[in-house]
Amino acid sequence: MSMQSVTHAVNVRLGEDERSIVVLDQTLLPNETKYLTLTDRDAMWEAIYKLRVRGAPCIGIFAAYAMAVLAKGIEAADFDGFYAEYSALSQYLGSSRPTAVNLACMLRRMDGVVLAHRESPRQELLDALTAEAKAIHAEDMEMCRKISEYGLSLLKDGDGVITHCNAGPLATSRYGTAQGPFYLAKEKGMNIHVYVDETRPLLQGARLTSYELTRAGVPCTLICDNMASIVMKQGKVQAVFFGCDRIARNGDVANKIGSSGLAVLAHYYGIPVYSLGPSTTIDFHCPSGDDIPIEERPHSEIRELYYEKPMALPEVECYNPAFDVTDHSLLSGIVTERGIVRAPFEENFRKLFPEAMP
């Protein structure tokens, strides 16, 4: 398996006819590699909700392609009729998952394209939507590469790094964000060992991260989430790298459930924690982590999903928040495509992204 076949794997693309989207069904990995061809709104909504397509940037890219495809099926004769139908479809897709801001952000960007073509012939509008979705995809590739380089600058040969969930090529376009530095290290002949949290309950670490890293030849060790403390205490890791689903203006970071626990542990052991993500994951209008909506998912994911048999009685009460918020005080930095942002985050976001800050 070549490194490129992992870092450049295509998990989301337009179908040949540009009237469908082809996605790799991530729920079946690592046991089965199956691509789905999606043409209708319900299948697209379900693909996001069920995490067939997942990871904040990847969801944003998928949603952009989805709107480009769905717009082609709108038959309304005039612009107002078209826009009413388009908006309803966009709102519907946007309701699939609430936490990762890339979904809302990319739907808003596509909406802007529609409004900018109010006076254009319909075909021109449709072509512009397709072009925008492709641009969003290409921009993410570019951002991931830069984030990976800045991330790698934080590591030295021989370091161990612990990561959580999956922030690799599967969750993005190429390389990934929090995982990108590990591939770059391998390309440059640096020795970095990655400890991969399995990431209960959906096992993105076990099923996806350890799968991607192993196939790319990056040395990694899979651990259960509750083993992070001993790995840190034994001096096996010099940094924590995880992704992000929404970053608030003050630097609070929402990421996969368990991320904040990892950060609290790392703080105790004096290990630096970095969140890595593109600026499309920064919600400049969100003041703090308290304002980030946290998705709650079905209890069956805890009780039975990925087990051969249910591991709790069906009537057992569960609580299944899909994300948590790491307080900015626990972060040594946020790695973006424009550089590494350190505290005070709000002030430094303003310096790096002056055009985006309200």
| Catalytic residue numbers, as ranges | 245
Both structure tokens of 108: 């808003």
Name the minimum Å distance from CB 96 to ligand MRU. Answer: 11
Least gap, CB of 48 to ligand MRU (angstroms): 9
> Residue 60 CB, nearest distance to ligand MRU (Å)?
10
Residue in the structure block whose two tokens are 């005080």: 329
Q: Which residues bind ligand MRU (CB under 6 A)?
A: 51, 54-57, 100, 165, 167, 171-172, 176-177, 204, 242-245, 255-256, 322
10 Å CB burial of residue 38 (0-12, 13-18, 19+) is buried
Q: Which ranges constitute the DSSP H helices of 191-344?
A: 204, 210-216, 228-233, 259-269, 300-303
Q: How far apart are CA 179 and CA 4, in angstroms?
A: 14
Give me the least distance between CB of 310 and ligand MRU, in Å please. Answer: 22
The gap from C-alpha 272 to its chain's centroid, in whole angstroms, comes to 21
CB of 67 or CB of 100, closer to ligand MRU: 100
The sign of the torsion formed by the CA atoms of 271, 272, 276, 282 equals: positive
In 3D space, the residue among 50, 65, 73, 68 whose CA is nearest the CA of residue 12 turns out to be 65
Of the pair 155, 170, the CB lying nearest ligand MRU is at 170
Nearer to ligand MRU, 322 or 340 (CB): 322
Please say which residue, 52 or 117, places its beta carbon nearer to ligand MRU: 52
Q: How far apart are CA 139 and CA 156, in angstroms?
A: 28
* Least distance (Å) between residue 307 CB and ligand MRU: 19
**Closest residue to ligand MRU in the complex (CB):** 243
Q: Which is nearer to ligand MRU, 128 or 239 (CB)?
A: 239
DSSP string, 222-258: EE-GGGHHHHHHTT--SEEEE--SEEETTS-EEEETT
